[in-house]
């Protein structure tokens, strides 16, 4: 049985609960929207790994057809090679 648009608040609540139970995600950083089975994740997380974990958790929830991930994440300077010196060519 598929969810209908009337279940929007239930899907949103289920999504928020799933993020709350995912240990690698701080749900306080993430806003959740839901409409017609499409879940939107928004906000800013400190690391790409948390963004990835949030998207995976979102896809686990029953009734989700698609995830629109508009989360922003930061990369540590060591990963980007920027540090205080900027790009080195």
The larger pLDDT score, comparing residue 59 to residue 83, is at: 59
Per-residue pLDDT tens for 77-89? 555 555 555 555 5
Region label for 69, one of left (φ > 0), alpha (ψ between -120 and 50) or beta (otherwise): beta
For all residues of the chain together, what is the average pLDDT? 84
- CA 50 to CA 89: how far, in whole Å? 30
Q: 64 with 15: CB under 8 angstroms?
A: yes
Q: What is the CATH number of domain 5-80?
A: 3.30.1340.30
Domain borders along the chain are 5-80
- Structure confidence at residue 5 (pLDDT): 47
pLDDT value at residue 86 = 54
Q: How many residues does the chain have?
A: 89
Supply the pLDDT for residue 74: 80
45-77 b/e (C-beta count within 10 Å ≥ 16 → b) = beeeebbbbbbebbeebebbeebeeebebeeee
């Amino acid at each position: 049985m598929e969810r209908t648009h009337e279940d929007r608040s239930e899907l949103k609540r289920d999504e928020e609960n799933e993020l709350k139970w995912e240990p690698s995600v701080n749900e306080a950083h993430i806003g959740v929207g839901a409409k017609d089975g499409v879940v939107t994740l928004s906000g800013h997380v400190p690391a790409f790994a948390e963004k990835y974990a949030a998207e995976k958790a979102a896809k686990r929830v029953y009734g989700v057809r698609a995830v629109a991930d508009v989360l922003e994440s930061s990369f540590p300077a060591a990963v980007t090679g920027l540090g205080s010196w900027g790009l080195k060519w």
